Amino acid sequence: MLMEAGLPADRLTRSPAPRSGVGIIHLGLGAFYRAFGAIYVDEAMAAKGGDWGIIGVSLKSPTTRDALAPQDWAYTSVTLSPEGEQTKVIDVLQDVLVAPENPAAVIAAMADAAVKIVSLTVTEKGYCHNPATGALNPDHPDIQHDLVNALPVSAPGFLVRALAARRAAGLAPFTILTCDNLPENGKLVRGVVLQLARLIDPALADWIAENARFPATMVDRITPATTDANIARVTELTGKYDAAPVLHEPFRQWVIEDDFVGGLRPDFASVGVQMVQDVTAFEHMKLRMLNGTHSSLAYLGYLAGHETIADTMANPAFSTFVEQLWDEIMPAVATPPGVNLPDYARALKARYANPAIRHRTWQIAMDGSQKLPQRLLGTLAQNLQAGRACPGLCLAVAAWMRYVGGVDEAGNPIDVKDPLAEKLRTISAAASTPTEKVAALLAVDEVFPPALADRLRTPVTAAASLLWAVGAQAAVAKTTASRQTGGA
Ligand code: CS2
């Protein structure tokens, strides 16, 4: 990394300030957690103290550990607003472990008496569940492995084996704080952990059910993957080379069910986290209104040739279309306390349009088979049952179907990243017309519960026929033809 004078920039280093003790193990050390939860924890300790230092765990690759180790785990957070960039060094991480290199060290860290919370951002597919039902998939290869090996590979495996170690040592369990965009995420991770524990040792499952806590959360901060260009820009801004900065929007919202083992947690409320009794309404609103439209814009925007969400929103047909989506979604969202849904939608529109955030449609399009149920299908099920047509949302589902076929509108291949990618491509390729493709893909019951598939057949077939006939840009415009362009 060269500075203007032609000299290499110094590497970012940690401040010499004394370190706090470790209280949290975080599984899944991606950009999102480092731009979100880690910063809240850092601020809560600065405001109110406590030994809540974090050990991060990468469940797959050593990349983040290798990038952060020479920086003694410090990294730069960059807030990107249309007005400019603001940087801050975050040094709340105390260590980073790479699970496949030493799973026993991860279990030992999680079983340490000082640890009170294990938090997770392992993405939807990291829970090894069936997306349509939310239940553990016992046939998942990682779960098959973890059933018979004391040194696990999956997130549920690490949770269960570490809880077993704590029970054997006579310690209390930790709180499991999921920070992934899953429906009723606390309940989901609880179900997955208890199912796996029961298959390994029913008495362990009973102990976990009685003593562990699984607060649900709603998490929100748009954080695109960091690129090489971002790294170069951070060096320009700070004069230091940081191999793993995180770049994110100014907005953030964290709503947490206040249900921790022994009540032990950082003073989150002191730094603006909403501590509530029930997160469900917040979570539904966010998953349906934000992530639902994000995925819709990602598939349709990608097909229309847009690289980022901001580029997609700059296309007037799409900025009108997204308003139609919110109008379709809002009747299926209960208003959380203190929120006004149209205002929430207006704020989302401004966040999406933030030109400083280059969030690739391709990135958001990843893992659609794991995302569609909570982002789009719950809304559709509720609306169709109530007799409310949803042409915009059906067009989004059709766009996902087109996308997973693996060929774009110009005939170029799409690099589809999804645990079901191969299966979906094969199913799509075996069907020739849009009608046949829709029928075949609706039969994928990991994604579409059969009763919903029946309801979706007619409207999604209509949307797919339009999409295949005229392309994404014109299909979006046609679907909103009766609307006025303009503000939300
Ligand atoms: C996005 C989310 O990549 C995706 O699927 O929809 O990561 C989104 O940016 C966050 O949930 C915003 O809080």
For ligand 1, atom 5, the nearest C-alpha belongs to: 364
Mean pLDDT of the chain: 96
How sure is the predictor about 483, in pLDDT bands with cuts at 50, 70 and 90? confident
CA neighbor of 157 nearest in space, from 114, 206, 103, 109: 103
- Return d(Cα 355, Cα 370) in angstroms, integer: 28
Question: Looking at ligand 1, which residue's alpha carbon is closest to its atom 1?
Answer: 364
Distances (CA, A) of 19 to 13, 91, 92, 109, 267: 14, 9, 8, 17, 18
Neighbours of 37 (CB within 10 A): 26
Query: In sequence order, which residues have a C-beta less than 8 Å from that of residue 347 and are 6 or more positions away?
Result: 251
Q: Which of 294, 302, 367 to mutate to test the pocket of ligand 1 (most atoms within 8 A of CB)?
A: 294
**Residue 288 Cβ contacting ligand 1 at under 6 Å:** no
Q: Which atom of ligand 1 is nearest to the CA of 375?
A: 6
Q: List the residue whose alpha carbon is closest to atom 9 of ligand 1.
A: 222
How far, in Å, CA of 55 to CA of 398, rounded? 42
Q: Is the CB of 107 under 6 A from ligand 1?
A: no
Q: Which atom of ligand 1 is nearest to the CA of 295?
A: 6
Strand, coil or helix: what is 235?
helix
Side chain identity at residue 337, one-letter code: P
Burial letters 38-58, b for 16+ CB under 10 A, else e: bbbbbbbbeeeebebbbbbbb
Please tell me the least confidently modeled range out of 88-102, 197-211, 470-484. 470-484
Ligand 1 neighbour 364 (Cβ under 6 A): yes
- Model confidence over 271-293: pLDDT tens digits? 999 999 999 999 999 999 999 99
Domains of the chain: 22-276 (3.40.50.720), 280-484 (1.10.1040.10)
- For 128-183, write each residue's pLDDT tens digit: 999 999 999 999 999 999 999 999 999 999 999 999 999 999 999 999 999 999 99
Residue nearest to atom 11 of ligand 1 (CA): 220
Cβ(291) – ligand 1 distance below 6 Å: yes
Burial of 212 (0-12, 13-18, 19+ CB in 10 A): buried
Kindly give the distance from the C-alpha atom of residue 195 to the centroid of ligand 1, in angstroms, as a whole number: 28
Q: Rounded to the nearest whole angstrom, what is the distance from the C-alpha of residue 222 to the centroid of ligand 1?
A: 6
Spatial separation of the C-alpha atoms in residues 317 and 480, rounded to whole Å:
8
Angstrom distance (rounded) from CA 134 to CA 446: 10
Chain segment 217-259, per-residue pLDDT in tens: 999 999 999 999 999 999 999 999 999 999 999 999 999 999 9
Identity (one letter) of the amino acid at 453? A
- Average pLDDT, integer, range 36-64: 98
Position 163 scores a pLDDT of 99
Cβ–ligand 1 contact at 221 (below 6 Å): yes
Instruction: Reply yes or no on whether the pLDDT at 410 is more than 70.
Output: yes
pLDDT at 2: 46
100 has a pLDDT exceeding 60: yes
Pocket test for ligand 1, best of 179, 364, 366 (most atoms within 8 A of CB): 364
For the cut 70, the answer to whether the pLDDT of residue 5 exceeds it is no
Q: What is the pLDDT of residues 8-45, one digit of tens each?
A: 789 999 989 889 999 999 999 999 999 999 999 999 99
Residue 401 near ligand 1, beta carbon < 6 Å: no
Non-local (6+) Cβ contacts of 18 within 8 A are: none
The finding on whether 220 has its CB within 6 A of some atom of ligand 1 is: yes
DSSP labels for 136-173?
B-TTSHHHHHHHH-SS--SHHHHHHHHHHHHHHTTPPP
Asked if 366 and 417 count as a contact pair (C-beta separation under 8 A), the reply is: yes
Rg (CA), the chain: 23
Which atom of ligand 1 is least distant from the CA of 223? 9
Measured CA to CA, the distance from residue 119 to residue 219 in angstroms comes to 12
* pTM, full prediction: 0.96
pLDDT of residue 488: 41
Q: Are 290 and 267 in contact (CB under 8 A)?
A: no
Per-residue confidence at 484, pLDDT binned at 50, 70, 90?
Answer: low
Is the CB of 222 within 6 Å of ligand 1?
Answer: yes
The closest-lying atom of ligand 1 relative to the alpha carbon of residue 294 is: 6
Per the model's pLDDT, the better-predicted residue between 486 and 260 turns out to be 260
| Rounded distance from Cα 291 to ligand 1 centre (Å) | 6
Q: Torsions phi, psi of 247, nearest 5?
A: -120, 135
Pairing of strands 53-58, 253-257: unpaired
Q: CA-CA distance, 407 to 69, in Å (whole number)?
A: 40
8: CA distance to ligand 1 center in Å?
35
What spacing in Å lies between the alpha carbon of 249 and ligand 1's midpoint?
A: 12
| Three-state secondary structure call for residue 218 | strand
